[in-house]
């Protein structure tokens, strides 16, 4: 009877050890899944921001193309104004035959 009691005591400690080992493993798995979920959320946020930047860029490109091809008087005037500014910017600061300042 004494041998049976020692054997049961060892069995009890064995199951306790296996239960603790399983609980530690489950806790580690939970922590890894939580970390994975956080990384997924972070990368999804980054991908969303990159996608929105791409969408805004393509929208801006389409709008500028539409405005450049438009025959509306406002856009025609804006194009003329930009052409005048560009012509003014390309002019030299001094006349070709002028003397340098002393």
pLDDT tens digits, 44-56: 999 999 999 999 9
Environment class of residue 78 by beta-carbon count within 10 Å: exposed (0-12), middle (13-18) or buried (19+)? middle
- For residue 72, tell me if it sits in a domain: yes
Does residue 17 lie within any of the structural domains? yes
Residues making up the chain, counted from first to last:
102
In a domain, 33, yes or no: yes
- Give the pLDDT score at 59: 97
Confidence class of residue 88 from pLDDT cuts 50, 70 and 90?
A: confident
Mean pLDDT of the chain: 87
| Residues with Cβ within 8 Å of residue 68, at least 6 apart in sequence | 75, 79
Is residue 46 situated within a structural domain? yes
Structural domain includes residue 101: no
Map tokens 């009877």 to a residue.
1
Is the CB of residue 75 less than 8 Å from the CB of residue 67? yes
Q: Quote the CA–CA distance of 25 and 17 in Å, as a whole number.
A: 12
Number of domains the chain contains: 1
């Amino acid at each position: 009877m004494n041998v049976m009691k020692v054997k049961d005591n060892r069995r009890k400690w064995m199951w306790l050890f296996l239960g603790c080992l399983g609980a530690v493993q489950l806790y580690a798995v939970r922590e890894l899944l939580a970390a994975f979920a956080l990384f997924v959320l972070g990368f999804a946020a980054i991908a969303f921001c990159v996608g929105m930047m791409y969408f805004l860029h393509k929208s801006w490109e389409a709008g500028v193309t539409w405005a450049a091809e438009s025959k509306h008087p406002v856009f025609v005037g804006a194009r003329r104004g930009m052409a005048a500014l560009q012509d003014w910017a390309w002019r030299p600061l001094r006349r070709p035959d002028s003397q340098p300042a002393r």
